[in-house]
Structure 1
């Protein structure tokens, strides 16, 4: 298999053997791709600097195995520069994609949602709404998305004044009378999440808890390295 000049973002790199790099790429047509860039660590050339996270490149690779051989990479003249918490947030998005996206499984929508998120981070956008929007979009693309606007058991619309429980595999349904208050979700909060409206603190808090709950079984017990970067930074993750 040979692929030529596919747009790609660098998600992660790690040393491979003595002089090479193993690179995780995000592409629109092939999803996440792992490829070896041979010999790029043996000389300090300007081209080596292209192989950094958040770089958008045009890449070519070949191979039939899980690990492809990167045969060409060049700048796509699309440069992003993230700093401080926006940089850490970018690392978080990258780690989610590396951990959760199956290799060579096309998710065209995720590629462009990721690109939009990076551009918005570079512009200094409010981090928390951006992360929640991306997390819920990623869950939807992976087949684990929930409908924030409908009661899955009664098939009625979520009511703003109602209170709901969440089943991670099913969705939201009217809460039983004896459910502890801390386990309840107010309908107006769910509807705000459905609209992408994170202007209220209650919505932000509920969305963060929900995203973590839904992502946890997919991520497993291994902690996210990017979250550790936020320990002393009062994280928005």
Structure 2
């Protein structure tokens, strides 16, 4: 078995024996892996106390050909998730990132851009930047990488482009926004304004940092959360557990 080396985020750590642990790691190059860390509970060993939840590590592991656990042989700490002291919202936001990666990604399905988005989100939470904006950015990148990003460019019913000065409905089961002309009372939908639709497009954008400069009004923040919560819950099949602890 050849050793694989990559960067990863620790998503879950479970004691396996008196000396070992089972860890779930979301890696940049291989996606999610589950591995046995022999000696992972010892203070001194090949893991250097790196196996903490949401730690950013450089890991070395042996990939098993069968359905069993991979074998983690090294973990070098690159950075820890450090939320502001006594700021539970930032802490829960980090846990929320872990919950979504655990629940919605598959083993050995790499998404380098999603890995980078998770790192950026955790760093932003630690600096106590706009928490809601950072959470929404990660949610939308996750949906994009999974091929589940709703259409925020045009009406999903008639294809008409979305224009300023109007309100739109978000139709989660059809994956996008509905213009006023196509809205019906029987549709289960969330109403948002044009400014929120524009903010969603910026936050979901690929390859730039324009989302960091985005300033959200209280109304936009509320509407945006309703849209992303609905979309994530629809893909997950339930409401994420950590959402109740986020602002």
Q: TM-score band, normalised by the shorter chain?
A: 0.7 to 0.9
Question: What CA distance in whole angstroms lies between the structure 2 residues aligned with 1:107 and 1:32?
Answer: 9
RMSD: 2.4
Following superposition, the deviation at residue 182 of structure 1 comes to 7.8
Shift of the 183–126 alpha-carbon distance from structure 1 to 2, 3 Å rule, reads: closer
Aligned to 1:68: 70
Contact 1:24 1:32 in 2 (8 A): yes
Q: How does 1:107-146 map to 2 (within 5 A)?
A: 107-146=111-150
Question: What CA distance in whole angstroms lies between the structure 1 residues aligned with 2:80 and 2:233?
Answer: 32
Question: What CA distance in whole angstroms lies between the structure 2 residues aligned with 1:219 and 1:170?
Answer: 14
Q: How does 1:183-202 map to 2 (within 5 A)?
A: 183-196=190-203, 197-202=214-219
Question: What CA distance in whole angstroms lies between the structure 2 residues aligned with 1:218 and 1:23?
Answer: 25
Following superposition, the deviation at residue 4 of structure 1 comes to 2.7
Shift of the 16–147 alpha-carbon distance from structure 1 to 2, 3 Å rule, reads: same
Shift of the 223–152 alpha-carbon distance from structure 1 to 2, 3 Å rule, reads: closer
Gaps of at least 5 residues in structure 2 are 204-213
Contact 2:55 2:80 in 1 (8 A): yes
Tell me the alpha carbon deviations over residues 11-69 of structure 1, each in whole angstroms, 9 at most, x when there is no partner.
Answer: 1111224432111111111111111112322x333745210022221111111235211
**TM-score normalized by the length of structure 2:** 0.82
Contact 2:190 2:227 in 1 (8 A): no
Contact 2:31 2:107 in 1 (8 A): yes
Question: What CA distance in whole angstroms lies between the structure 1 residues aligned with 2:77 and 2:190?
Answer: 49
1:163 is the counterpart of 2:196: no
Contact 1:193 1:203 in 2 (8 A): no
Question: What CA distance in whole angstroms lies between the structure 1 residues aligned with 2:7 and 2:220?
Answer: 35
Shift of the 164–8 alpha-carbon distance from structure 1 to 2, 3 Å rule, reads: same
Following superposition, the deviation at residue 96 of structure 1 comes to 0.8
Q: How does 1:214-225 map to 2 (within 5 A)?
A: 214-221=231-238, 224=241
Question: What CA distance in whole angstroms lies between the structure 1 residues aligned with 2:100 and 2:71?
Answer: 24
Shift of the 211–222 alpha-carbon distance from structure 1 to 2, 3 Å rule, reads: closer
How many corresponding residue pairs? 228
Following superposition, the deviation at residue 222 of structure 1 comes to 7.3
Match of 1:179 among 185, 188, 193: 185
Contact 1:159 1:188 in 2 (8 A): no
Following superposition, the deviation at residue 156 of structure 1 comes to 2.6
Following superposition, the deviation at residue 223 of structure 1 comes to 5.2
Contact 2:233 2:240 in 1 (8 A): no
Question: What CA distance in whole angstroms lies between the structure 1 residues aligned with 2:98 and 2:61?
Answer: 21
Shift of the 219–198 alpha-carbon distance from structure 1 to 2, 3 Å rule, reads: farther
Greater CA drift, 163-172 or 208-217: 163-172
